Amino acid sequence: MTNFIMTRRSLLRSGAAAASALALPAIVSSRGLAASGTRAVNMQLGWLAGGNQLGEVVARHLGYFEEEKIDFAIQPGGPNIDGVAIVASGRYEIGQVSSSPSLMLAASQGIPVKSFAVSVQEHPYAFFSLASKPISAPKDMIGKKIGIQATGKVLLSALLKKHDIPEGDVEVVVIGADMTPLVSGQVDAVTGWLTNTTALAALGDDKVVMKLWDNGVQLYANPYYATTAMIEEEPEMLAGFLRAAAKGWQYAHDNREAAVDLLLKDYPNLVKADEVKAVDVLLAHMFTAATAKNGWGTFDPAVWEAQISLYDELKQFSAGAPKLDDVITTSILDATADARPKIG
């Protein structure tokens, strides 16, 4: 999870670097596709590709993007790749970030990108403790050592504020991504994503899970976004992308092991047993009461509004809180309402 703030100057600088110096895979070029009426669509990630893109991988293998006349490719991110800057610069058509605050922060800086759909309805970010010293509610954190990544400290601040707990009542210990500090007793809780089942295996089956979402800090995970210009000028392309991805995720929901087999064709470094276990957790957070009512990919503007208000209270917007209409658009969801599967 990344808490980043970007200025227009850094956007231009990052965009130029993306165009010239980044070691990215070759772009799917639209020049050779025009004759067939097929549109190249590249999705830039904020991380390395894997199980979070299962539905899109399935849709590509099964021809769902081809049915929409889309030649689809996934462009991986990483620690030295600013995905939002790349999409905002016009290099790629669509992007996906790990967590919704990234897009709120970008919008607050005047960067013209908006979310048009959300992959994971309930963010799987959580605090993990051991049964021998459980932290099952925010009040249990008082007087405890909480291990958290530097970029996630704002989430702890948000949780404490939501429950009127002074930050001085909790000791913060900055850690890396593994669970060792908890296992060794250096801290009383660590943070991570429930979908990272491989890392969580070190804690055993008796771990205690306290989800951010269940305790009032409700963020979206893996939102899709595009530039304002792309949304205005190519809404049918974005609708086609969403229809194809929706079919891919529906197939993954109904055929989990077969979907993972398709994922491994593209990413053979992944371990099948780990991915099969992780996909069950991912899909449980992706398909909820919200998707049963409004279809895969939906989002609630009120949830976004609450996020903006909370981050504003935490003084995260150096240039002022963004307007909701600068962060999201429901136009693509509205255009695909009948095509997105209603699964809960």
Q: Rounded to an integer, what distance in angstroms lies between the CA atom of residue 325 and that of residue 20? A: 32
* Structural contact between residues 219 and 146, judged by C-beta atoms closer than 8 angstroms: no
pLDDT number for residue 36: 65
**Which H or E element spans position 191?**
strand 189-193
Residue 95's identity, in one-letter code, is G
Q: Can you tell me whether residue 171 is helix, strand or coil? A: strand
Predicted local distance difference test score (pLDDT) of residue 34? 52
From CA 220, how far away is CA 99, in angstroms rounded? 6
Spatial separation of the C-alpha atoms in residues 197 and 202, rounded to whole Å: 9
pLDDT of residue 48: 87
Q: Tokens standing for 165?
A: 């707990």
Task: State the pLDDT at residue 231.
Answer: 98
* Rounded Cα gap, residues 295 and 293, in angstroms: 6
Measure the CA–CA gap between 218 and 200, rounded to whole angstroms.
22
User: Given this model, what pLDDT does residue 338 score?
Assistant: 97
Rounded to the nearest 5 degrees, what angle is found at the Cα of 215, between the Cα atoms of 324 and 153? 75
| CB neighbour class for 59 (10 Å; exposed up to 12, middle 13-18, buried from 19) | buried
pLDDT at 35: 52
Could you give the 3-state DSSP secondary structure of residue 88? helix
Residues of the chain scoring pLDDT < 50? 1-32
Q: Kindly list the strands in the beta sheet with 125-130, ordered across the sheet, starting from the edge strand earlier in the chain.
A: 171-174, 145-148, 189-193, 125-130, 207-211
Instruction: Find out whether 102 and 84 touch, Cβ atoms under 8 Å.
Output: yes
Mapped onto helix, strand or coil, the DSSP state of residue 42 is strand
**What whole-number distance in Å separates Cα of residue 138 and Cα of residue 163?**
7
Where does residue 76 rank: exposed (0-12), middle (13-18), buried (19+ CB within 10 A)? middle
